[in-house]
Structure formats: C-alpha cells, structure tokens
Amino acid sequence: MTRTDDNPGDPGRDHASLEPLGGMLLYPVPESVARARRWFRKFTEPHQLACSIDDCVLMVSELVTNAILCGKADEPWRIRIRWYRVGDALRVDVHNPGCPANVRMRSPEATEAQGRGLLLVNVLADEWWSGPSGPGGTVVVFVMHRAFKPD
C-alpha cells in the first residue's frame, strides 16, 4: 500500500508515538548493503518480531541500494537508517541527501537489471511512503503492522 506525506493518518507520523529501537549510519558504497542486512537482523533479533524478518531485511537492502544510487550531495554524506516501534508496528526510515521528488516506482523491462526495489517494498510492506527528510534530503519509510506481539 503506497502512502504519501500528505496522509497524516499513517502510524508514526506523530513523532511522539515513535519508540526508537535502533539505527545505523552507512557510507554510500555497495558494501553497506550487506552491512545493513547483517546489522538490522542482529539489532532486531532481541525484539522477536512477529513479522517476516527476511521481508524486512530485503526491504532494507533495496532501500539502502536506492539510497546509494540516488543520494547526491556536494560534501561527503552517509545513509541513515532508523527503526522504531509504533504501537504493535515496526517502522523503518532510510534517509539520504537525494531529492524527495525523484522517489517513484518504476515499471522496468524484463531485461533491465535495476528498478524493482520500490515494487518489492510496495508488495511486502503494509505501508510505505517517501518525502523530505527532517535533516534534509529524502526519507523512504516502510511499516510492518502487527510486528510486535501484544505485551
């Protein structure tokens, strides 16, 4: 389900309801994709998430790859990933210094090697959206509902 920043009803839009669980800063290099997968899995393991960790790791991988390919800045920069608990949902934010207006799903030809990342996020996430990042640049967010077992 695709969302845009003009839908204020999405979980976690009220930043007061965000419970930070972890995050990381990554260099915009290909090796960071594997690092993001490893560390996301390691840092979320203690929470015993009820959603598919493999799906979440795949989405993190795709969004970090997109951030590497699309991030642009005049000075050295980093990709910033943060994940939060919002009620029983898991929210994952991936920030880069690119232009928010350039985030869009593509319909790549079968012969194209790239262009399916947001299609995968659209299929796997319960919700996702993109927009301007608070510190500047772009944020792409995905949400998995019922990711945490009731307390």
Position 61 scores a pLDDT of 97
Position 100 scores a pLDDT of 72
Q: What is the distance of C-alpha 81 from the center of its chain? A: 7
| 36 pLDDT tier (thresholds 50, 70, 90) | very high
Percent of the chain with pLDDT over 90: 63
Just give the CATH number of 15-144. 3.30.565.10
| 41 pLDDT tier (thresholds 50, 70, 90) | very high
Contact 64/79 with Cβ under 8 angstroms? Answer: yes
Whole-angstrom Cα distance, residue 39 to residue 57? 10
* pLDDT value at 105 more than 50: yes
**Mean pLDDT of the chain, nearest integer:** 85
Position 18 scores a pLDDT of 93
Position 9 scores a pLDDT of 41
> Which residue is it, tokens 């509902």?
145
Whole-angstrom Cα distance, residue 8 to residue 138? 18
Position 70 scores a pLDDT of 86
pTM: predicted TM-score of the whole model, two decimal places: 0.85
Q: Which residues of 76-103 are buried (b: 16+ CB within 10 A; e: fewer)?
A: ebbbbbbbbbbebbbbbbbbbbbeeeeb
Residue 131 φ/ψ, nearest 5 degrees: 175, -170
